[in-house]
Chain A
Amino acid sequence: MSDYTIIGKRMPRVDSRAKVMGKAKFTADLKLPGMLVGKIKRSPYAHAKILNINTSKAMALPGVKAVVTGKDTEGIKWGVFAYTRDQEFIQTQKVRYIGDEVAGVAAVDEETAIKALDLIEVTYEELPAVFDPMAAMASQTELIHEDFPDNINIHVNIDTGHVDENFKKAHYIREDTFVASEESYFQAEPYAIAARFDHEDCLEVWMPNGGPHMKAKPLSNAFKIPLHKVKVRKIAIGGAFGGRSEICPVDYICALLAKKTKQPVKIEFTREENTIATRQGHSMITTHKTGVDKDGRVLARETTCYMDGGAYSSTGPIATSVPFLSMEQAYRMGSVRYNGYRIYTNKPIRGMIRTHGRGFACGLDTQLDMIAENLGIDPVEIRLKNSRQSGEYTSTKSYVDSCAMDETILKAVEKSGFKEKWGKLPPFHGIGIGTNSVQTGFPMGIRGGSQSFIKFNEDGEATVMSGVVDNGQGNDNMLVQIAAEELGLLPEDIHLVSADTETTSSDPGSYSQVSTFVGGQAVKNAAANCREKLFKVASKILKVAPETLAAANRMIFVKNDPEKSIPIRKVVRISLLNFTSVNAEGGYWPRVDMKREWVSNPYGQMCEAFSFGTTIVEVKVDPDTGQVEVMEVTAAQDVGYALNPLVLEGQFEGSIAMGGQGGMLTEYHEWKDGRCINTTMLDYKLPLACDMPPKINNIIVESIDPKGPYGAKEAGMSIAMSAAQGYSSAVSNAIGVYMDSFPLTPDKILAAIKEKKQ
């Protein structure tokens, strides 16, 4: 792969200079002429009927420019799918969680807006609320949504057949239940949105987003204006982690306030609002029943999972499926039956998160460790016996092309010294392993593909247009690197126009780990088309066939005779003077099964490639305090191909922090009567610099996917999940108790140690 000049190099990111100078503009940094401050009035009750809303006093307050309530929304409901449209942008009938939107205000300044919120009088009739998914299913009180019996929002059923007969053939069967609390994103940047209607009645909006086109479509629907009139603009984004993909009520409310006042409006969330009124991760109760043969090969598995979905559907069908899909990709399961239930409760709305299904995956891996112990084999052996192999189909019929799962296991095992340490460490000192797999994209229907345009300027530099959004993970740099490589330019010669719905074509967004695989590929194809045009012109000048040419360092040259060359700038100028276009487009559409549907038909090709990863963790547990000291973490991931190892390592380490250090040791939400009581960063206990393990080993494994750009797949999520599994496995190993409740906080660890002693 040494043929590349820019791809594969440790290239500092193109966006980092503006960021270190404090010049990168985030939504809260925007100031538009005449801009008003918007605020949201939220429900203080977890479940209540709205009897009346009186806004007259708020409207009369000097400085208040507009107040909007559910009456202004024309009853529009939001849901990702036609069958999950259950959320009004502003509630008209009842509120379903503490924080539900009941009104919005726009005023000249923040103080006035906050005062106005207090002057909005809402009369409620409180209803019985349910906060536990199992209680919600059995509840005899008023349903949270009347169309959903037993408060069951989504039921996903997957069944490969032959499950019961294969259990009969099993040498050993276990059934265990695992629970995990809800977690949160805690993006560094609190959510914010600015909106205005411009002189042509176009809606112009800025907000952190996981895909500008995913935000534009529902806004176009809600305001009944064509898509070209919704301009979601590019803005720096302070993290997403899955939590900023769909439209949310505040997007609509802010735009509605802008429409009503005919002025720009900006709403900045407080940290508490960012925690309760965007999305959270689901809490889950998962039962895995697994039957294996005498060698530890899984013959049959039955998994049932109950997810606390909170008040509305959000990405419900996807969220109910993905924890299972990641595991069916990572492991061969023989025959399998999965029943996933997403249950409504009167708690904040749950969505997709980078560590989605931490309890599900940790449970499955913990149970594998239990089975291995029963059979007298080690955790590595049982994983290698069941690990996904290239050329296979998953249980739900996705073909797996590139797969280096075993290589990630073996390399991590070697680097960490697992074989030398496992079973031989002193008391309260343990080592554990976790493996996982992640999709590069979900079937996204009409928005599943990405298209890019490239225009050459007469000075030989290029402007690249792409709908891909950068949430902080480095997508902008990825696109520039690819374009520069393909066009034979230097990264500084590329100007990127991205994540703006006015100037870029449809794109699936950074949601579902798809950006490199689909969006990067689209840019690669566009650049290759552009290069072909330049080569045609250059071939005439150099008097050689176009196929003999190559481009690098701003030059087009003959591959076998590099002295014979011409600057790209010159080729561009000659083309333009000869009436020849130097611009090009290119696109990429992953060949997924368009008939696959999350609930009605969960079978068929999910996406074109899957990443695979292994994390091995070594810990010491203090038996007196239950504190876990992480000594070393070794993360290996099959990323397909490393486009930029510097960026990849940052993804690995960030994944270990979020999935392992935070996700398995400290991060969870606490509640009192439906009210989240740890909404801030320190109460929630995010990992700090001083909490991180002293030693992290990153191992990049490259399987060179035949369809990915240069063979690349994804790198942002798989390690976050396998780190969670590795951490939980290591702690269980250290204390000699298989833990079944996550995260593994000191109180749970101490209780387990105490119980074991008795």
Chain B
Amino acid sequence: MATNISFLLNGDKISYEIKDHWTLLHLLREEMGLIGTKEGCGNGECGACTVIVDKLAINSCLYLAIDADEKIIETIEGLASTDGTLHPLQQSFVDNGGIQCGFCSPGMIMSSKALLDENPKAGHEEIKHALAGNICRCTGYVQILDSVEAARDKGGQNE
């Protein structure tokens, strides 16, 4: 079965003919070539595939593409400005060592963005809670939490 869906992706209007069994992850990665969103488990456990749908961080591996119809979708590709300026969260992850192998990073940053968009003053415990669905095997999370807190403290501004 094929269905036509329309959605807003990183600010662009998209219309796409999809197969009904596709996940949003499949649509983004395999069909649209947006490889910044990663597949770490395919079971909704690791959070590497996190994207934001209507302001909510979701596991795109468990989210059917057909449900993206009429939704607003944000992926890691949409964060930096077109002139190459990083989003404050991205810059903070760079500056505070929140990146090691980088595989979990896009999902980690998207979960952090969904949180700070909703609550720009989120505390340490709230941040830990918001990132509990994103598994990192490299960092021990300390520098990731530092990165999110530093971005929060700058109030969404780069330096």
Q: Which A residues fall within an 8 A CB radius of B?
A: 12-13, 15-26, 28-29, 31, 185-190, 236-239, 241, 270-271, 471-474, 646-647, 649-650, 652-658, 661, 680-682, 686-690, 692, 696
> Could you tell me if B101 and A22 are in contact, using CB atoms closer than 8 angstroms?
no
> Could you tell me if A238 and B103 are in contact, using CB atoms closer than 8 angstroms?
yes
Q: A188-B48, A681-B41, A681-B46 are in contact. Are A472 and B101 (CB under 8 A)?
A: yes
- B97 on the interface (CB 8 Å rule)? yes
- B100 on the interface (CB 8 Å rule)? yes
Q: Which residues of B contact A654 (CB under 8 A)?
A: 100, 137-140
Which listed residue, B41, B76, B97, touches A650 by the CB 8 Å rule?
B97
> Could you tell me if A690 and B132 are in contact, using CB atoms closer than 8 angstroms?
yes
> Could you tell me if B36 and A680 are in contact, using CB atoms closer than 8 angstroms?
no
Q: What would 15 A/B residue contacts be, using CB atoms closer than 8 Å?
A: A12-B94, A20-B99, A26-B38, A188-B135, A236-B101, A239-B101, A241-B137, A271-B41, A473-B138, A647-B97, A655-B140, A657-B141, A686-B137, A689-B128, A690-B128
Q: Which residues of A contact B100 (CB under 8 A)?
A: 239, 472-474, 650, 654
> Could you tell me if B97 and A13 are in contact, using CB atoms closer than 8 angstroms?
yes
Q: Which residues of A contact B38 (CB under 8 A)?
A: 26, 28, 189
Q: A21-B86, A22-B35 are in contact. Are A188 and B40 (CB under 8 A)?
A: yes
> Could you tell me if B97 and A649 are in contact, using CB atoms closer than 8 angstroms?
yes
Which listed residue, A187, A237, A650, touches B139 by the CB 8 Å rule?
A650
Interface SS majority for chain B: loop
Q: A654-B100, A681-B46 are in contact. Are A22 and B94 (CB under 8 A)?
A: no
- B143 on the interface (CB 8 Å rule)? yes
- B39 on the interface (CB 8 Å rule)? yes
Q: Which of B29, B42, B101, B128 has the most CB of A within 10 A?
A: B101
Q: Which B residues fall within an 8 A CB radius of A?
A: 29, 33-43, 45-46, 48, 75-77, 79-80, 86, 90-91, 93-97, 99-106, 109, 127-129, 131-132, 134-145
Which listed residue, A22, A186, A653, touches B140 by the CB 8 Å rule?
A653
Q: Which residue of B lies closest to A186 (CB)?
A: B137
> Could you tell me if A17 and B86 are in contact, using CB atoms closer than 8 angstroms?
yes
Q: Which residues of B contact A472 (CB under 8 A)?
A: 100-103, 138
> Could you tell me if B102 and A15 are in contact, using CB atoms closer than 8 angstroms?
yes
> Could you tell me if A21 and B137 are in contact, using CB atoms closer than 8 angstroms?
no
> Could you tell me if A690 and B129 are in contact, using CB atoms closer than 8 angstroms?
yes
Which listed residue, B76, B86, B99, B103, touches A239 by the CB 8 Å rule?
B103
Q: Which residue of A lies closest to B93 (CB)?
A: A20
Q: A26-B103, A271-B43 are in contact. Are A692 and B140 (CB under 8 A)?
A: yes
Q: Which residues of B contact A681 (CB under 8 A)?
A: 40-41, 45-46, 135
Provide the bound-state CA to CA distance between A473 and B137, in Å. 11
Q: Which residues of A contact B145 (CB under 8 A)?
A: 689
- Known pairs A187-B137, A689-B131, A696-B140 / 18 extra A-B pairs, C-beta < 8 Å: A17-B94, A20-B105, A22-B34, A22-B77, A28-B39, A185-B137, A189-B38, A190-B40, A236-B103, A239-B138, A271-B42, A473-B100, A647-B97, A653-B140, A656-B140, A658-B140, A682-B45, A689-B144
> Could you tell me if A646 and B97 are in contact, using CB atoms closer than 8 angstroms?
yes
> Could you tell me if A658 and B137 are in contact, using CB atoms closer than 8 angstroms?
yes
Measured CB to CB, the closest approach of chain B to A276, in angstroms, equals 14
Measured CB to CB, the closest approach of chain A to B129, in angstroms, equals 6
Q: A654-B140, A657-B140, A657-B141 are in contact. Are A19 and B99 (CB under 8 A)?
A: yes
Q: Which residues of B contact A473 (CB under 8 A)?
A: 100-101, 138
Provide the bound-state CA to CA distance between A22 and B79, in Å. 10
Q: A20-B94, A689-B144 are in contact. Are A238 and B101 (CB under 8 A)?
A: yes
> Could you tell me if B142 and A696 are in contact, using CB atoms closer than 8 angstroms?
yes
Q: Which residues of B contact A13 (CB under 8 A)?
A: 94, 97, 99
